Structure 1
Amino acid sequence: MDDLAFAYAGCDGLLAYLVYEKIIFMEINVRRRNLLPLLLKIYLLAGVMLGVIFLCLGAAMVGHAAMPEDYSLAHEIMENVAIAGYFLLSIAYIVKYFLLWFEVKSAIRWNWGIGVCWGIFILVVGIVENKPEYLLIQLVVSAPYWWMLYRIQNKWEHEAVRGRK
C-alpha cells in the first residue's frame, strides 16, 4: 500500500489490507480438538475421573497389602508386582485421555495400544473370576468410544493440526 492510499483509507484501510494479506497466506487447517464429537469429549472426562478412581483403589490396595495376615515371600512379591502393574495401567489409562485432549498427533495410536492392554487385562479378570457379564459390560460401554476414534483417526493424523495460540 503506498502512502497516498494509506492516507486516504486511514487505519481501517490498513487493517483491511493486513487481514486480506493474512487470509491469503494462511492455510485453513482443522484443529484436532474440533474433530472430537461431544460424546467423545464426555468419554474423555469420564475416563479421567475413572482413572483417578483406579488410582485411589490402588492406594487402598497398597494400604491393605501393608498388613499381611500370613507372611509369605512369594505371596508378597506377587502382590507387589500386581499392585505395580495396576498402578501402571491406571496411569496409562489416564494418559491416553490427556493425549487426546492435548491434541498429540499419535494419541489415537497410543489409545489403540492401551486399549489392547486393557482388553487383555479385562479378559483375564473376566476369565479368572468367571464373570462373562463383566466382559459384556466393558464391551458395550467402550464400543462407541473406539468407533468414534476409528472414524476420526485419518483426519487426526494427516489433516488436522494442534491448536496453539
Structure 2
Amino acid sequence: MEQPTIFDESFGDSLPVRRRALLSIILKIYIWVGLIFYSLVLMATLVKGTSLLIKYPSTLENTQWVMQTIVSVLSSCIIILMTASLWFEQKWAIRCNWICGGVYGLLLFIALFTGRMGYAAVIVALCSIPFWCLLYKIQDQWENEAVSGRE
C-alpha cells in the first residue's frame, strides 16, 4: 500500500533556473575581464590623477588632466557596475546595463568630439558588441523566469 502524499507528480520538476546559469562562458569571461581590468584601470587612474594634482596644483594642464581623470573614473565605474550587477545576479542588472551602456556611449561620443578618444576606446566599444547581443538574448529569461542564488 502506497503512502498518500500532499505533493503531486510535478513537484520539483520545474525548479527555477539561476540567473548565473543563463550566462554563457563568453559572458562570464566578459564579466571577469571587465571586473579585473577596469578595477585596475580605476586604481591606476586615481593614483595618476592624485599625483598630478600634487605635482601641478593650479595650472591649465592640471585642469585638462582632471577632466580626463574624471571621464576615466566614470567610465571605469560604469563598467564595474555593469559587470558586478550581472555577476551578483541582480534582477535589474540587464536594464542597468542598457542604461550604463548609453551613458558609456555618451562619454565615448564626448571623447570623440573633444579629440580625446584613442584607439583603445574604439576597440573596447567594438569588442562589447557580442556582449550586448548575448545580453539581449537572455534578457527575458533573466527578468521573468530565473532567480538569484539568494531567492
TM-score interval for Structure 1 and Structure 2 normalised by the shorter chain: 0.7 to 0.9
The CA distance in 2 between the partners of 1:131 and 1:66, in whole Å, is 26
Q: Once the 2 structures are TM-superposed, how far is the Cα of residue 68 of structure 1 from its aligned partner?
A: 0.8
Partner of 2:102, secondary structure, is helix
Q: CA 1:164 to 1:75, structure 2 compared with 1: closer, same or farther past 3 Å?
A: same
CA RMSD in angstroms, aligned pairs only: 3.2
Give the match for residue 66 of structure 1. 54
Structure 2 residue corresponding to 1:95, chosen from 68, 71, 81: 81
Deviations 1:135-157 (CA, angstroms, capped at 9, x unpaired): 64233201000000011001100
Q: CA 1:125 to 1:84, structure 2 compared with 1: closer, same or farther past 3 Å?
A: closer
The number of aligned residues is: 149
Higher helix residue share: 1
Structure 2 residue corresponding to 1:56, chosen from 43, 47, 50: 43
Q: Given the two structures, how large is their TM-score scaled by the length of structure 1?
A: 0.72
Judge conservation of contact 1:106–1:157 (CA < 8 Å) in 2. Answer: yes
Deviations 1:1-21 (CA, angstroms, capped at 9, x unpaired): xxx988xxxxxxxxxx99x94
Which has the greater radius of gyration?
Answer: 1
Q: Once the 2 structures are TM-superposed, how far is the Cα of residue 163 of structure 1 from its aligned partner?
A: 1.9
* Amino acid corresponding to residue 104 of structure 2 in structure 1: W
Structure 2 residue corresponding to 1:127, chosen from 113, 116, 119: 113
Structure 2 residue corresponding to 1:160, chosen from 136, 146, 151: 146
* Amino acid corresponding to residue 108 of structure 1 in structure 2: I
Greater displacement, 92-101 / 60-69? 60-69
> Where does the alignment leave 5 or more consecutive residues of structure 2 unmatched?
none
Q: Quick one: percent identity of the two aligned structures?
A: 29
The CA distance in 2 between the partners of 1:130 and 1:82, in whole Å, is 8
Q: Once the 2 structures are TM-superposed, how far is the Cα of residue 76 of structure 1 from its aligned partner?
A: 5.7
The CA distance in 2 between the partners of 1:135 and 1:87, in whole Å, is 14
Q: Is 1:33 matched up with 2:20? A: yes
Q: Given the two structures, how large is their TM-score scaled by the length of structure 2?
A: 0.78
* Amino acid corresponding to residue 158 of structure 1 in structure 2: N
> Where does the alignment leave 5 or more consecutive residues of structure 1 unmatched?
7-16
Q: CA 1:82 to 1:142, structure 2 compared with 1: closer, same or farther past 3 Å?
A: same
The CA distance in 1 between the partners of 2:135 and 2:113, in whole Å, is 27
Judge conservation of contact 1:126–1:135 (CA < 8 Å) in 2. Answer: no
Divergent runs of 4+, >3 A: 20-27, 74-86, 130-136
Give the match for residue 116 of structure 1. 102
Q: Is 1:141 matched up with 2:127? A: yes
